[in-house]
Structure 1
Amino acid sequence: MSDGHDPDRLKDFEQRLERLKAGQQDERPHTEEHYSMAQHAWRMVIELVAGLGIGFAIGYGLDALFGSAPWLMVVFTLLGFVAGVKTMIRSAHEIQKENEAALAARDERE
């Protein structure tokens, strides 16, 4: 091994490092991507809970109106759950399409 510094190797290394730094500047930071995914996850959870809550409220109201407790509450809670899951699946498809479009755009740039 040589004890001296090779100026050509050092210059080449600095150029490669600068190219890598320049390539990373146009991408968004990892933390922004993480927060974006957390926002999508919370959106899905809220959609599911909203479906359950609305179904429960409708069923409870109809049970109070018709005196058929707890049958309509159970039925409408299950319907609310199904509606919430369908909405979550629709949201997941939207997110998947956004990610595929972003990936295609990135591939076209390269």
Structure 2
Amino acid sequence: MAENESGQDPFDVDERIDHIGDRLRDIERKEQADASGKSGTVDKNYRLGNRVLADLLGGLAGGLLFGWLFDRWLGTSPWLLITFLILGIFVAFRNIIRASNAYSAGLERQQPPQDTHKD
């Protein structure tokens, strides 16, 4: 294949193709940044929701189970069942409040401080 007199490749390079390639790289970078940022938040929210559900169900089930067992063992039906159920609910809500406070404190640390000073 012979080169032309100017020493350049005989095929003209279309600048539009280079521009499209640059735009594709920019779009891919933005998508990767969005995916990495949002997926982390979604995973944290999903884990927090699962933890809240597990705490609530565990508190209720544990209170019912232990109350029923102690009632049958001691013959105090239904007083220990009611007592342990209330105790289980209390413990579940305490755990949920702790988890949500820890989550919101983590969110506050992630956000940059905002300048509230207006001129």
Q: Tell me which interval the TM-score lies in, with the shorter structure as reference length.
A: 0.5 to 0.7
User: Taking CA–CA contacts closer than 8 Å with sequence separation of 6 or more, which of the two structures ends up with the larger relative contact order?
Assistant: 1
For structure 1, the residue ranges without an aligned partner over 5 or more in a row are: 1-10
| Larger gyration radius, structure 1 or structure 2 | 2
The percentage of aligned residue pairs carrying the same residue is 21
Q: Supply the RMSD in Å over aligned alpha carbons.
A: 3.1
Tell me the number of residue pairs that the alignment of Structure 1 and Structure 2 aligns: 94
Which stretches of structure 1, 4 residues or more, deviate above 6 A after TM superposition? none
Cα offset, 1:57, TM superposition:
1.8
TM-score relative to the length of structure 1: 0.67
1:31-46 equivalences in 2 (<5 Å)? 31-46=39-54
Cα distance in 1 between the residues matched to 2:112 and 2:77: 53
- Distance (whole Å) between structure 2 residues aligned to residue 75 and residue 26 of structure 1: 49
The structure where helix makes up a greater share of residues is 1
Q: Specify the code of the residue in structure 1 equivalent to 2:43.
A: Y
Q: Confirm whether residue 62 of structure 1 aligns to residue 73 of structure 2.
A: no
Partner residue in 2 for 1:76: 84
TM-score normalised by length of structure 2? 0.63
Map of 1:88 onto structure 2 = 96
User: Match for residue 15 of structure 2?
Assistant: none
